[in-house]
Amino acid sequence: MIQAPTINTQAAQTNLTAIAACMDEMAIQMIESADVLRTSAITSVIGNSIAVTVSGMKDRAHQIQGMTAEFRLSGDMAAFDAACQLAGWHPDPQALENLHGAH
């Protein structure tokens, strides 16, 4: 997998609203995925650790929500990088360019 370079400069010239919305969506998707996993048939398999996985996913989603609030105040792209890392998303350069140019 190609991993984009870390973005850690102030996001003065980017669309902060679009980036914050992306971060919000990462958290929402993680919570929804955790709920799907929690209610899936695999939870009936003895010896699995689905409950732990679901709990971890929801914890990371809540951390992303906190990072999003921080990002809205500071515009510091390090919060976006950290949110992507928590979500397990490694955007390629084209995805980042599209996000930065979003209106």
Q: What is the mean pLDDT of residues 70-85?
A: 92
Q: How far apart are CA 38 and CA 14, in angstroms?
A: 37
pTM of the predicted model as reported, rounded to 2 decimal places: 0.75
How is the chain split among helix, strand and coil, in percent rounded to 5?
Answer: 70, 0, 30
Model pLDDT for residues 9-43, shown as the tens digit of each residue: 444 445 888 899 999 999 999 999 999 999 988 88
Confidence at 79, pLDDT banded by 50, 70, 90: very high
Amino acid in the structure at residue 75: G
Instruction: Tell which wins on pLDDT, 47 or 22.
Output: 22
**pLDDT at residue 27, as a whole number:** 96
